Amino acid sequence: MSDLGITFLLIATLFVILGSGVWVGLTLSGVAWIGMQLFSSRPAGDAMAVTIWGSSSSWTLTALPLFVWMGEILFRTRLSQDMFRGLAPWMQSLPGRLLHVNVVGCTIFAAVSGSSAATCATIGKMGLPELARRGYPDGISIGSLAGAGTLGLLIPPSIIMIVYGVSAEVSIAQLFVAGVLPGLMLGLLFSGYLAFWALRHPDQVPPADPPMSLGHKLRESRYLIPVVLLIGAVLGSIYAGIATATEAAALGVLGALAISAAQGSLNWPTFRDSLLGGVRLYCMIALILAGAAFLTLAMGYIGLPRHLAEWIATLGLSQWQLLLALMLFYIVLGCFLDGISMVVLTMGVILPTIQKAGIDPLWFGIFVVLVVEMAQITPPVGFNLFVLQGMTGREIGWIAKVTLPFFLLMIVAVALIYLFPQIVTFLPQQMRN
């Protein structure tokens, strides 16, 4: 059978098994086993055992469950309410006023969560009722939250960056640092659009609260101190070279437990629930990573990545054409798979291609995260859309519609990091020096 025929057979098998409701991790392992059994000479069972054990026992992967647990602990504290209280007084003078709390709150919480869905749910649970009570339109409130919630993937520490770093063998600490400026840039793009919207629709923006003195604003800002200290400890230890990503994750867990204890929310039920929640989420991710590692090995034995890379090379695509094709590919794939599955499923095939095109794997990691962010708000399987549908009871189609401007701003962000790659590479270069 030709390479093209093998590729179509495996893709068809993948979607048939996924469509039958089998877990993604088991599906990837099953397709890999079928591919090796039919189209390679290596025993599939032996390869499966060695690969799954090797991927599951990776020391680099240790950071992942720790960051997941840190996010689960903070999800059960008053952190989001305190952030709203500390940020709101400073937003009153901006066009759009408290709508910016969605963006700034998501940016801050993303830096201690690592999860897009957790960021969206936590800030939404606190912010949406408050914005509705004050008279802000549902469309712009929910749309801005859906868009800003995706910052949980880009602002470090990010779960998807750890997954990419493990899959592509790129330094996770370098990825974390590389995500800082693009994340802030995307947050500024979102806030800029909110200001533009508010200036165009001044009648839909509720009046400002009574003015506060500078002293009062500063007193309210004290509620931001715990989260700022935690962000400084986690990211500062990585940037200063004091700690690896795994050690910083452990520091983050200790900091999250300290914040929870200081707020009085650390008790046995919350500790148990956070631990169980973290274990459940990590086990799902680990199963997907193990299945994807086996699929990558199987693809290598069959020779598909090499042949695909050679085929793409014959097309004569320039770098920007290749990246445009990959962006469209990931956006379409996001209609069917979650972000982690997208990354681990495609890296074995895509990495040889981008390396042959001379694209920096570190820069490409941030590109992938940005494109996966778009998939978080792409119907019908955008995770953030599901989170907001459950919180608001609105139709997925309506939520996708009000989120469209923020989706387009992500495309602008991709264009900016392509035109100015220093946005991604500047801080990692400083870190190396």
pLDDT in tens, 129-145: 778 887 888 888 888 88
Print the domain residue range for 184: 3-432
**Alpha-carbon distances of 18 from 26, 106, 176, 271, 392, rounded to whole Å:** 9, 32, 32, 34, 29
Q: What is the pLDDT of residues 40-93, one digit of tens each?
A: 778 888 888 888 888 777 776 777 788 778 878 877 777 767 777 787 788 777
Alpha-carbon span 70 to 73, nearest angstrom: 5
Mean pLDDT value across residues 406-416: 92
Confidence of residue 418 (pLDDT cuts 50, 70, 90): very high
241-261 per-residue burial string, b: 16 or more CB within 10 A, e: under 16? eebbbbbbbbbbbebbbbbbe
Q: How many domains does the chain divide into?
A: 1
* HSE value, Cβ hemisphere, 13 Å, CA-based, for 275: 8
- What is the pLDDT averaged over residues 154-168? 84
Tens-place pLDDT, residues 26-46: 888 888 888 888 887 788 888
* Structure token pair of residue 206: 């509720």
Average pLDDT over residues 358-378: 88
* Residue 328 burial by Cβ neighbours in a 10 Å radius (0-12, 13-18, 19+): exposed
Instruction: Report the pLDDT value the prediction gives residue 188, as an integer from 0 to 100.
Output: 92
User: What confidence score (pLDDT) does residue 204 get?
Assistant: 84
User: How much is the pLDDT for 420?
Assistant: 94
Check residue 192 and give its pLDDT.
Answer: 93
Please write down the HEC assignment for all residues of 250-276: HHHHHHHHHHHHHCCCCCHHHHHHHHH
- Report the C-alpha gap between 250 and 232 in whole angstroms: 14
Q: Please, what is the average pLDDT of the chain?
A: 81
Which pLDDT does position 113 carry in this prediction? Answer: 66
The yes-or-no verdict on residue 228 having pLDDT over 60 is yes
- pTM for this prediction: 0.74
- By the 8 A CB rule, do 119 and 109 touch? yes
pLDDT at 254: 92
The 3-state secondary structure of 118-148, one letter per residue? HHHHHHHHHHHHHHHHCCCCHHHHHHHHHHH
Q: Kindly state the average pLDDT of the residues 254-273.
A: 89
Q: What is the pLDDT of residues 196-218, one digit of tens each?
A: 999 898 888 887 777 778 788 88
Structure tokens at 221: 């800002």
